[in-house]
């Protein structure tokens, strides 16, 4: 027999809506046999049938269906189907004459009161989790800490920063809405009559579809803006053809007229295919409007000289600071380098170190961060002004 999974369009705080949905599914030939967790249900595909489903609220949240409850319902013509969490036992009957489980509103109010109490705690737990998550998110946005950490792993993880709270918010909103409705029914004793649930059920589907679409569109927009478009926007061009967007310090300026640049070429294999010699690789994303990787290479008096610049303009100074830390970790992690702090007007942080025969420079100024690696005979300290000018607003 073929099994299918379906997500319920109504929440667990709407037992009458769930009953209606299960009946609707049975009428389409999908018969419930298992609750898989959250709003996911497993169905057997079979003949379409007019089954009645009823949810019995459980008082103490047992792990197994109470045997005496199953027996009692069976003696009234109801078959046990499954448990939904520890909230409900689901029963079904194909006998139109089978006695309705709840014949009196007072007892229904008592039973739904148990559900109400436990769902309220569940909602409160979700709300607390949401507040903690949003606080942590806000802190990390302001300080750039989490951003930097996630960027180190993969930019895709950044999307969770927005998707997770969005999903929890939608869940909390819908849950609160259903709980208020349930609470009102319990307080007034006015339960929607059976058979009148169609409109409410359709409305629930519309509300959930709207929110699901909203989250999907937001996630898709994020993916497109921050992952796909940056990949498409990635371009590599020879340095000689590049219309510089920053006051670029060239290797010729450092080495003097005797410097001979190497011919432009791209590495033709592997992941570094976009990188090359004497070229600029640039791309953009929503959080990083300008990313440049600039390679300059050549020879002077038979000796090889290189200048590699990694430049980032970001959304905010907090992001730039995080990027500055991340660029720094590339070297910190490799070796315990000794960094010299350089004070330069307009630059927030300016560090210099040496690794093997290379000079390493890290800069952060406002919303820009940059790493410079220089290998050559000149004293790079003579060019601090030109280097700082690359990250200072023009």
Q: Is 303 in the site for another protein (CB under 8 A)?
A: no
Task: Using the rule CB under 8 A, give the single segment among 95-103, 126-134, 175-183, 361-369 that binds another protein.
Answer: 95-103
Q: Which of 295, 301, 293 is nearest to 256 (CA)?
A: 301
The residues in 167-186 that bind another protein, with binding defined as CB under 8 A, are none
**Of the candidates 227, 89, 232, the residue with the CA atom closest to the CA atom of residue 155:** 227
| Nearest to another protein of 102, 171 (CB atom) | 102
Q: How many Cα atoms within 13 Å fall on the side-chain side of residue 358? A: 13
Rounded CA-CA distance 166/211 in Å is 10
Q: Which residues pair with 88 in a beta bridge?
A: 57, 84
Residue number, 71 or 340, with CB nearest to another protein: 71
Question: Does 78 contact another protein by CB under 8 A?
Answer: yes
Question: Could you tell me if 114 and 59 are in contact, meaning their C-beta atoms sit under 8 angstroms apart?
Answer: yes
What's the closest the beta carbon of residue 59 comes to another protein, in angstroms? 5
Q: Which stretch binds another protein (CB under 8 A): 9-17, 62-70, 205-213, 291-299?
A: 62-70
Binder among 107, 198, 253, 335 for another protein (CB under 8 A): 107
Q: Does 87 bind another protein (CB under 8 A)?
A: no
**Span near another protein by CB under 8 A; candidates 98-106, 232-240, 320-328, 333-341:** 98-106
Stretch that binds another protein, among 51-59, 115-123, 159-167, 322-330 (CB under 8 A): 51-59
Phi-psi region of 340 (alpha: psi -120 to 50; beta: other; left: phi over 0): beta
- Classify burial at 183, counting beta carbons within 10 Å of its beta carbon; exposed 0-12, middle 13-18, buried 19 or more: middle
Q: Does 191 bind another protein (CB under 8 A)?
A: no
Beta carbons within 10 angstroms of residue 254's beta carbon: 22
Q: How far is the CB of 74 from another protein (least distance, A)?
A: 8
Q: Measure the CA–CA gap between 112 and 95, rounded to whole angstroms.
A: 25
Nearest of 58, 46, 104 to residue 85 by alpha carbon: 58
Between vectors from CA 233 to CA 270 and to CA 267, what angle results, nearest 5°? 25
Binding of another protein at residue 94 (CB under 8 A)? Answer: no
Among 59, 143, 216, 245, binds another protein (CB under 8 A): 59
CA distance 392 to 312: 12
Minimum distance from residue 54 beta carbon to another protein (Å): 7
Q: Which stretch binds another protein (CB under 8 A): 93-101, 130-138, 241-249, 298-306?
A: 93-101
Among 50, 104, 231, 269, binds another protein (CB under 8 A): 104
Q: Taking the C-alpha atoms of 188, 189, 195 and 196 in order, what is their torsion angle to the nearest 10 degrees?
A: -10
* 72 lines the binding site for another protein (CB under 8 A): yes
Which residues of the chain form contacts with another protein (CB under 8 A)?
A: 54, 56, 59, 67-73, 75-76, 78, 99-104, 106-108, 110-111
């Amino acid at each position: 027999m073929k099994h299918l999974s379906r997500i319920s369009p109504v929440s667990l705080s709407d037992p009458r809506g769930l009953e209606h949905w299960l009946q609707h599914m049975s009428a389409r030939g999908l018969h419930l046999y298992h609750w898989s967790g959250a709003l996911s249900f497993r169905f057997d595909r079979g003949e379409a049938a007019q089954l009645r489903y009823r949810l019995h609220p459980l008082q103490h949240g047992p792990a197994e269906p109470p045997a005496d409850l199953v027996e009692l319902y069976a003696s009234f013509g109801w078959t046990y189907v499954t448990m939904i969490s520890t909230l409900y036992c689901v029963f079904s009957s194909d006998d139109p004459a089978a006695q309705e489980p709840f014949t009196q509103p007072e007892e229904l109010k008592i039973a739904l009161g148990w559900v109400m109490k436990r769902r309220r705690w569940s909602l409160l737990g979700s709300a607390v989790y949401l507040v903690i998550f949003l606080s942590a998110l806000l802190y990390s946005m302001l300080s750039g800490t989490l951003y930097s950490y996630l960027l180190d792993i993969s930019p895709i993880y950044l999307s969770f920063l927005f998707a997770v709270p969005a999903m929890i918010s939608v869940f909390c909103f819908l849950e609160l809405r259903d709980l208020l409705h349930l609470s009102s029914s319990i307080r007034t004793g006015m339960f929607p009559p059976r058979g009148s649930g169609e409109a409410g059920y359709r409305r629930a589907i519309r509300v959930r579809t709207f929110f699901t679409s909203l989250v999907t569109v937001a996630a898709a927009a994020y993916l497109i803006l921050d992952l796909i478009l940056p990949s498409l926007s990635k371009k590599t061009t020879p340095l000689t053809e590049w219309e510089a967007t920053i006051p670029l310090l060239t290797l010729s300026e450092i080495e003097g007229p005797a410097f001979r640049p190497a011919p432009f070429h791209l590495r033709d294999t592997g992941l570094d295919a976009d990188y090359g010699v004497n070229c600029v690789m640039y791309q953009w994303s929503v959080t990083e409007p300008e990313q440049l990787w600039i390679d300059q290479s050549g020879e002077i008096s038979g000796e090889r000289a290189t200048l590699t610049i990694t430049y980032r303009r970001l959304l905010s100074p907090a992001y730039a600071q995080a990027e500055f830390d991340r660029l720094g970790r590339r070297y910190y992690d490799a070796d315990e380098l000794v960094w010299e702090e350089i004070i330069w007007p307009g630059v927030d942080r300016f560090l210099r170190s040496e690794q093997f025969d290379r000079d390493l420079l890290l800069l952060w100024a406002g919303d820009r961060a940059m790493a410079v690696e220089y290998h050559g005979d000149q004293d790079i300290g003579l060019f601090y002004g030109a280097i700082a000018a690359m990250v200072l607003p023009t």
